[in-house]
Amino acid sequence: MVAAVTRSQVLAFRVRAQQLDRDAGVLADTAVLDIGVQDTGPDGAKWALANRGVEVSRVSGDELVMVWTIRGAPHLYRRASLPAVAAAVEPFSDADAGKRIFDAAKPLKAAGISNLDALEAVAAAMRSVVTRPMVKGEVSTRMTALMDPPYLRFCRPCNTTHMYEMPFRLAALRAGLELEAGTSPPVLRPVPGFARAAESSPRYDVIRAYLRLLGPATPKQVAGYLDAPAKDVSARWPEDVVEVSVGGEPRWVLSADTDKLGLEPVTTTRLLGPFDLFLQARDRPILVDDPARAKALWPVLGRPGAVLVDGEIIGRWRPHKSGKHFRVQVALWDKASAAVRAAITEQAERLEAYRQVPLSGIDLDD
């Protein structure tokens, strides 16, 4: 018989799996680094690690590495695991590669170039160009001069011809390139001694990692997270999974994790960054079931962060810089207790310590 799992059990499972309820941890046992921590916005990857108990101020510069991977976004990983990560984030097939590079696939197909061959060609060119730290714009200019017409497009905003963006980003790790931390525009540089692993390990397998951290889930949801075809994900679906029912919908969880679905509710408060992994699940109605609230939390542009209290998202927040200080504006969806307000204030002060910028105040509306 298929077990029924409640929405609150799903949320508690994810909070625990992603270690949002722990006070202290180290990089080696920080689970989200297995799938990658997206670094978008001022409170990006390192704030996500801080929210999971990592003392980021004590992390040395050579312990972590930033690379373009899933959906072409910059993600942070343990440097020592990069060869396995590189194998794990590779497209599953030529069709998958075509889906991940979006409109760049059309001219390649017309020219008789496979999507995987195209990524390899772009990687080879990048490898020849980036022999030292180089700003992305310089790399793009030199790459444009090297690549044939099927790899190029006319960009109206720039009023010039340059490479398609997604093949450029997705080929960078193939070329053995990382992103220099804290650079904008991004600086690419060679990864010392880089060699991609022959195959991924279960720890970094992106399908298993999604199920472990964002389950229970369906192949379609995992495919949405990866920008991959659902057919490719289904063909690689793990055998050691158990079917459960969430709101009457069949989903799957790794068999090793089934006992973690029935645990007691979590008790934790966090100010999640806009692209925190908890918010990256492809079943947003599970996270926020009110359409108006979901629209405010996930706008097309300018995402706010989310206020997480005891497994539930109860509002959104934004930091506002003012001179040498900053304020935190919090908009809660319902009236909050004094204890919740105090916990949110404590997390804002934690953000102050992380940013090392004075906090001038908290605007808390409910």
- In this predicted structure, what is the pLDDT of residue 28? 95
pLDDT for position 179: 97
CB 10 within 8 A of CB 311: no
Long-range pairs, 208-211, Cβ under 8 A, ≥24: 208/238, 208/254, 209/34, 209/35, 210/35, 211/238, 211/241, 211/252, 211/253, 211/254, 211/257
- Average pLDDT on 73-94 reads 97
C-beta of residue 8 within 8 angstroms of C-beta of residue 267: no
Tell me: pLDDT of 341 over 80.
yes
The predicted model gives 270-281 an average pLDDT of: 98
pLDDT higher than 90, residue 182: no
SS3 content of the chain, % helix, strand, coil (to 5): 40, 20, 35
- On the question of a cis peptide bond just before residue 185, with omega within 30 degrees of 0, the verdict is yes
Domain boundaries along the sequence of the chain: 24-190, 269-365
| Residue 73, pLDDT score | 97
pLDDT of residue 130: 98
Q: The dihedral of CA 120, 126, 132, 134: what is its sign? A: negative
- Which tens digit of pLDDT belongs to each residue from 277-326? 999 999 999 999 999 999 999 999 999 999 999 999 999 999 998 888 99
Give the model's pLDDT for residue 157.
Answer: 79
DSSP code of residue 42: S
Percent of the chain beyond pLDDT 70?
100
pLDDT at 154: 86
Per-residue model confidence (pLDDT) at position 221: 98
For residue 319, whether the previous peptide bond is cis, meaning omega lies within 30 degrees of 0, is no
Question: Contact, 150 vs 111, CB < 8 A?
Answer: yes
Give the H/E segment covering residue 347: helix 338-355
Q: pLDDT tens for residues 21-55? A: 999 999 999 999 999 999 998 899 999 999 999 99
- Cα pseudo-dihedral 53, 359, 181, 119, rounded to 10: 80
Stated as kind and residue range, the H or E segment containing 153 is strand 152-155
Residue type, 218: T
pLDDT at 4: 92
Of residues 152 and 201, more confidently modeled? 152
Would you call 158 helix, strand, or coil by DSSP? coil
Residues 243-266 have pLDDT tens digits of: 999 999 999 999 999 999 988 889
- Note whether 315 and 333 are within 8 A (CB): yes
In this structure, of 81-95, 225-239, 258-272, the range with the lowest mean pLDDT score is: 258-272
Residue-level pLDDT at 52: 98
Phi and psi of 346, rounded to 5°? Answer: -60, -40
- The tens digit of pLDDT for each residue in 104-131 reads 999 999 999 999 999 999 999 999 999 9
Residue 10's pLDDT band (cuts 50, 70, 90): very high
Mean pLDDT, the chain, integer: 95
150: amino acid identity, one letter: P
Instruction: Give the Cβ contact number of residue 56 at 10 Å.
Output: 14
Q: What is the CA radius of gyration of the chain?
A: 21
The DSSP line for 140-169 is HHHHHHHS-GGGEEEETTTTEEEE-HHHHH
CA 278 to chain CA centroid, nearest Å: 9
For residues 172 and 188, the answer to whether their CB atoms sit within 8 Å is yes
Query: What is the pLDDT, as a whole number, of residue 88?
Result: 97
Alpha-carbon distances of 150 from 99, 122, 155, 156, rounded to whole Å: 16, 11, 14, 17
Q: What is the mean pLDDT of residues 346-366?
A: 92
Please give the average per-residue pLDDT across 181-198, as a whole number: 93
The confidence band for 156, taking pLDDT boundaries of 50, 70 and 90, is: confident
pLDDT at 344: 96
Read off φ and ψ for residue 60, nearest 5 degrees: -75, 155
**Three-class secondary structure of residue 364 per DSSP:** strand
Q: Mean pLDDT across the stretch 336-360?
A: 94
Q: Which residues pair with 54 in a beta bridge?
A: 25
Who has greater pLDDT, 218 or 154?
218
